[in-house]
Structure 1
Amino acid sequence: MTETIGFIGLGIMGRPMALNLVRAGYPLTVYARRQVSMVPLLEAGATGCSSPAEVARRSSIVFVMVSDTPDVEQVVLGDEGVIEGVRPGAIVVDMSTISPSATRAMAERLREVGAEMLDAPVSGGDVGAAAGTLSIMVGGSEDAFLRVRPLFEVMGQNIVHVGDNGAGQVCKACNQVLVAQTIAAVGEAMLLARASGVDPAKVREALLGGFAGSRVLDVHGRRMLESDYVPGFKAALHQKDMRIVLEAASELGIGLPGAAQVTQLINALVGQGEGDLDSAALHRVQQRTHGKA
């Protein structure tokens, strides 16, 4: 079967992911709310569409990469949305980070019109999107996953079919819980080193070689040392993801106190007008709290 591919959402993450598909030789139809966002894709050979429904009418596999749950719901289920044009047998692949329960509800709506859905959120930021090295966590049927896998391999390297619809979003929520709390832990370690009069750069260097070593300590620890918070992943988006985490936990009736606590640091950072900084900048909140900024 020759697949026809569509891509909706051409922002910081979606644009490089879609470009990688074009460069791999896949004919692509695209849509973005802002016409200017489509220009790099059109110049690369993609075909522009006037709505998500038009993309769906032209495509057997439709990728969606937008910001939040309401955005995906509008793209998939809204006026001129994917559901109005989707073909029987098509697959809609949502690579956004959204609510697991909303994902399951959308998958059911698409099944009613003969289409399947995969939730396939990613980790790796804009650098991973451009390099085609994203980690992709996938929920949905095994058959749909295997059909889309060659396309995932253009965009990422660590590709795991986690389970049924919603499982990919649950996995991404777990990822954000770990990342947020590890950023906070690295920030506290840097704070303790400085307050003790010990060079935090040397502390980081020593810790990277032991059990405490991690990519967060490596990448975000450097950001904290250099006060370099040019975003790879904006704090405002991490705030949105942690809201999804805590809403999911509430739906399940479980407590995630560590996640709740670090969310307050991110909320403070965004509330202080710094939501466009990298989420590692939550260290600024830690520093201000102790008069060390």
Structure 2
Amino acid sequence: MSNVTVIGLGIMGAPMAANLVKAGYTVTGVNKEPEKVEQLIELGGHGAASIAEGVRDADVIVTMLPDTPDVELVAADIVDHAREGTLWIDASSIRPDAAARMAAQAAEAGLRAVDAPVSGGEQGAIDASLSIMVGGAPADVEAARPVLEAVGSTVVHVGPAGSGQTVKAANQLIVAGTIELVAEAIVFLEAYGVEMEAAIKVLSAGLAGNRILERKAEGMLGRSFQPGFRIDLHHKDLGIVTAAARQAGVAIPVGAVLAQLMGAARAQGHGQLDHTALLLLVEQLSGR
């Protein structure tokens, strides 16, 4: 299981591929932008000019792509050109039903597929500290575990194919809600002129403490929204959440509002900013 091909060398995929190189795997990168592949080669990896070339000799294929249609497009090449028995790990965040369907299609072609979306953002990918929720057959998940443990610190099997994506949808619901509440709290506190760093410190130490305060509050206070995870992508993920909840007959009233707020921030031109730029929408709604 030494030859790993990573398809998608973006904000998350590039550092994940770099950590696989560090872990001793022979890593081949495939990406639409050739410079991303060159950066991986400089780190000791290899490059392929096409998906077909990249997956032909792979023991493991890792996909890290933006949305369901992107994975569906790549899946066709994987099924057509990967060797029988190859393990396909999809680390993208996509629709649970699509993940289950593509896993079944991969199995029909003699491949093993697991869905393994990640949480932790760009810094988690860089630090190899991602939390990874994995769906698939138990034997396939265990086969994928060494690769996943090279890029993440928490790897948990959460059920059959598609389950990883379901848990990731719930993760994105909680993260969006937390960001929105932190943004509202910051704008509220600033309106009263309190000492902001002190306020964040004491809030972080109490029951209100959370990862957003720990990792993101400094950037939010400084209005620095360099993307670790873009609003465009979180908008997509909340669409997955609301559609899946509707299909299951589950009410998520706060989630529906969050989806509208994220969509509004995107409509205001903030799609390429970090999802903490929800703060800008709170400021706008507050007339500040």
Q: What pairs up with 1:120-135 in 2 under 5 angstroms?
A: 120-135=116-131
Match of 2:151 in 1: 155
Q: Which residue of 2 aligns with 1:26?
A: 25
Matches of 2:193 and 2:29, distance apart in 1: 54
C-alpha contact 2:11 2:228 (8 A) present in aligned 1: no
Asked if 1:195 corresponds to 2:194, the answer is no
Matched residues in 1 for 2:29 and 2:272: separation? 27
- Is the contact made by 1:133 and 1:158 (CA closer than 8 Å) also made in structure 2? yes
> What is the 5 A alignment of 1:6-17?
6-17=5-16
Alignment of 1:165-184 (within 5 A): 165-184=161-180
- Within a 5 Å distance, the mapping from 1:49-128 to structure 2 comes to 49-77=48-76, 81-128=77-124
Aligned runs of 1:201-280 on 2, under 5 Å?
A: 201-280=197-276
**Could you say which residue in structure 1 is the equivalent of 2:35?**
36
> Which residue is equivalent to 1:47?
46
The offset of 1:172, in angstroms, is 0.8
Report SS of the residue matched to 1:272.
Answer: helix
| CA-CA distance at 1:200 after TM superposition | 3.9
Deviations 1:176-205 (A, max 9, x none): 100100111112222332334434433322
**AA matched with 2:267:** G
SS at match of 2:56: helix
Q: Does the 8 Å CA contact 2:2/2:26 hold for their aligned counterparts?
A: no
Which digits, 9 at most, give the CA deviation of each residue in 1:113-167, with x for residues without a partner? 1111110111111111111111111111111111121111111101111111111
Question: 1:83: Cα distance to partner?
Answer: 0.7
Alignment coverage as a number of residue pairs: 288
Q: Tell me what 1:141 maps to.
A: 137
Shift of residue 32 of structure 1?
1.2
Alpha-carbon distance in 2 for matches of 1:219, 1:44? 27
* Aligned amino acid, residue 21 of structure 1: L
Secondary structure, aligned partner of 1:136: strand
TM-score, with length taken from structure 1: 0.93
Q: 215-224 vs 283-292, which deviates more?
A: 215-224
Secondary structure of the residue that 1:109 maps to in structure 2? helix
Aligned mates of 1:56, 1:166 — CA distance in 2 = 23
Query: Which consecutive residues of structure 1, in runs of 5 or more, have no partner in the other structure?
Result: none
Shift of 1:38: 0.6
* More displaced stretch, 57-66 vs 96-105: 57-66
> Using the alignment, how far apart are the partners of 1:239 and 1:155 within structure 2?
25
Question: Which structure 2 segments of 5+ residues have no match?
Answer: none
SS at match of 2:156: strand
**Inter-partner Cα distance in structure 2 for 1:115 and 1:146:** 15
- Residue 51 of structure 1 deviates from its aligned partner by 2.1
Question: Which amino acid in the other structure matches residue 93 of structure 1?
Answer: I
Partner-residue secondary structure (3-state), 2:254 = helix
Q: Distance in 2 between matches of 1:219 and 1:153?
A: 22
What CA distance in whole angstroms lies between the structure 1 residues aligned with 2:6 and 2:193?
A: 52
CA contact (8 A) 1:29 1:58 kept: no
Matched residue SS, 1:137? strand
- CA offsets, 1:232-262, max 9 Å, x none? 2111111111111112112222221111111
> What CA distance in whole angstroms lies between the structure 1 residues aligned with 2:5 and 2:227?
28
Cα separation, 2, equivalents of 1:143 and 1:184: 39
Structure 2 counterpart of 1:225, which letter?
A: L
- Does the C-alpha gap of structure 1 residues 44 and 186 become closer, same or farther in structure 2, counting only changes over 3 Å? closer
Secondary structure of the residue aligned to 2:269 is coil
Q: CA deviation at 1:100?
A: 0.4
Is 1:282–2:278 an aligned residue pair?
yes
The CA distance in 2 between the partners of 1:206 and 1:24, in whole Å, is 39
Structure 1 vs Structure 2: percent identity of aligned residues?
41
